[in-house]
Chains A and B, each alone.
Chain A
Amino acid sequence: MAQDEETLLLSPLTRTSRGFGIFIALLVAVVLVGAAIYGYQWANGLSVTGMNRPVYMGIYIVNFVFFIGLAHSGTFISAILRLVGADWRKPLARAAEAITVFSVPFGAGSILIDLGRLDRMFNIFVHGRFESPLLWDVVSVSLYLLSSIAFFYLSLLPDIARCRDRLIDVPRWQHQMYRVLSLGWKDHPEQYRRLEKVLAAMAVFMSMLVIIVHTVVSWVFGMTVQPGWHTAILGPFFLVGAVFSGSGAVVVTMAVLRRIFHLEDVLTLKHFDYMRKLLIALTLVWLYFMVAEYLTTFYGQEVEEMLVFWQKFTGTYAIPFWVMFTLCFAVPLAIFLTRGKRSIGWMVAAGLIINVGMWLERYIVVVPTLTRPRLLSELTMGNYTPTWVEGVITAACFAGLLLLYALFTRFFPIIPIWERSEEVEAYLHEMEE
């Protein structure tokens, strides 16, 4: 890698623009408002939300599934593409991994927000029974968070050391931060060899983990006997949706970073074209699961299942359902096959549209079933409309994710430098021989 390119990749770490400062201030304000509203919810209980009996899960659980799904993009781009030797993933890997590391806490946090009584959180450890899918969720999501942080941090380590050695003019506290976080990395060839070995092994583990985590997330619903949920296809369907929305988010992130940090030579049109092809495949796989799921239900004609089915197709939830279908399938596919071939702007639009569609898809999975649960009677029929409290807290979660991401790009190189270094590649090649 040329010295010029390294300078370009490190340059955002040495200055803060006025626009960036304003953006951060806005995000902090939204997060603080969200925290205050959460305090209001804490003081008044979950009655300030739209949740009720029998609709005991609302948009907090939708957010939980969405954020965990979003997180899978990092693992997919970084770990799974590493395993199949797709070198084009290298410049995208860290941007995607950062989405993982910063999304999972908001996913897990959404469950805590949904608890109402946060002080009872530890009861799951004290009184937890392992037959409960909720406990499987706690274990798998926490393990995923820990493993993602480890994977992310290890792959970042040589670049933190590079910041420590090259960025002399930064404020003292910033340099001190690099010194502490680099853990005394010496740039020794043997360290690189070991790092590569560990990352390769972790890529296998992370690939398994990503499948397990989202399957377990789906089992929170699938292990109940509720109509629309109790189906074996729910796990793979959730997983495909997760990678789909995550890949859409990666495209948006790539385009924003390319624009702000002038990375036109690093994140080229070729990378967007690879993502376009990947997203075409994911759109079709998502459609396959969608058809398989609903066609099977329709042919079964089971009374309780059909109540939920018609709620989605023609009933109360028909508008969000068909909007979701259009946003997840028709619009993105049309973009990918036409304008998206040549335009990054259209790709960004498709990425955003997919994510709005996938959030709605999670809503369509969670809420309609609870309004028409099994053992239906007039007393158990329900309705759900999210309140402003849930809206503000959700906005704060999204703002929090953006805030952490933006701060990360301000202090750490978002494009892996060491993985693109010819010197490091030569070390590794020499050692292999």
Chain B
Amino acid sequence: MTVGEILEKIFTTPGIGGIIAVVVLSSAVAIYVGLTRWILQGGREEAPPWERMGWPFE
């Protein structure tokens, strides 16, 4: 299957669009929750954010 065919499938297969929408929106929610947590943790500890943030929903 060529790249063009794969792209065509992504654009034309029913349901794939819905999956893309859900992935984009849930990723945005996760990023915003993570950023909020990172801001609120400011001044509480000195470890870098990627070590202490953890999964946003922990």
Contacts and interface: CB of A to CB of B under 8 A. Distances in A.
A83 interface: no
Nearest to B8: A131
Contacts of B43: 186, 188-191
Contacts of B10: 130
Interface of B is mostly: helix
Interface in B5-58: 10-18, 20-22, 24-25, 28-29, 32, 35-36, 38-40, 42-44
A127 B28 contact: no
B17 A194 contact: no
Contacts, number: 86
A153 B32 CA distance: 11
A127 B36 contact: no
Given A183-B40, A189-B43, A143 B25 contact: yes
A284 interface: no
Interface residues of B, number: 25
Which applies to chain A's interface (DSSP): helix, strand, loop or mixed?
helix
A208 interface: no
Given A127-B18, A130-B17, A143 B11 contact: no
Interface residues of A, number: 33
By CB atoms of chain A within 10 A, which of B11, B29, B39, B42 has the most? B39
Given A139-B24, A142-B25, A146-B32, A128 B17 contact: yes
B12 A129 contact: yes
Interface of B: 10-18, 20-22, 24-25, 28-29, 32, 35-36, 38-40, 42-44
Interface of A: 124-132, 135, 138-139, 142-143, 146-147, 150, 153-154, 157, 183-186, 188-195, 198
